Amino acid sequence: MKKAQSRFELRLAPAPLEDPVTDVCLSCICEASSGCDASLRCNGDVCGMFRITWAYWADAGKPVQQGDSPDSQNAYANCANEPYCAARTVQGYMRKFGQDCNGDGTIDCFDHAIIHKLGGYNCKNQVPIVYQSKIDECIQRKAVEYGAVRQ
């Protein structure tokens, strides 16, 4: 049981040299953002199942799909609407803006989820309760699935 807890904690807060956001956390951010609906495209100023804005994509380093150029007119939408490129966008954004938003002394999924929703400069602000509840429920469900309890 001790090993399961350690593994899960690592999934919530990976080593600094890895992608900052774990797969578990990405799935929870996706669920809270859109229900992880892969059919979602651009609507207003957000695109894809992570509901990424152009500014968020640009801050993330303008990742693109293979064969695309960051300067291409459709690069943002092409990436944000494609699940793997969108996930790379979230990783890039968290590499730039990752911080301890909730003051618990660690940068983990709770912080990444807040940053994703509120942005890198606003993460100390109040998180919408519906979004926060979805994140909390997802992380708790994943902890049960992995046989670990977050301490």
pLDDT at 18 (0 to 100) = 75
**Higher pLDDT among residues 84 and 9, named by residue:** 84
pTM, entire model: 0.86
Region 23-150: CATH code:
1.10.530.10
Phi/psi region, residue 113 (left: phi>0; alpha: psi -120 to 50; beta: rest), is: alpha
pLDDT band at 146 (very low <50, low <70, confident <90, very high): confident
pLDDT at 5 (0 to 100): 36
pLDDT tens, residue by residue, 50-98: 999 999 999 999 999 999 999 999 999 999 999 999 999 999 999 999 9
State whether residue 18 is helix, strand or coil.
Answer: coil
What is residue 147's predicted lDDT score, i.e. its pLDDT? Answer: 73
The residue ranges of every structural domain in the chain are 23-150
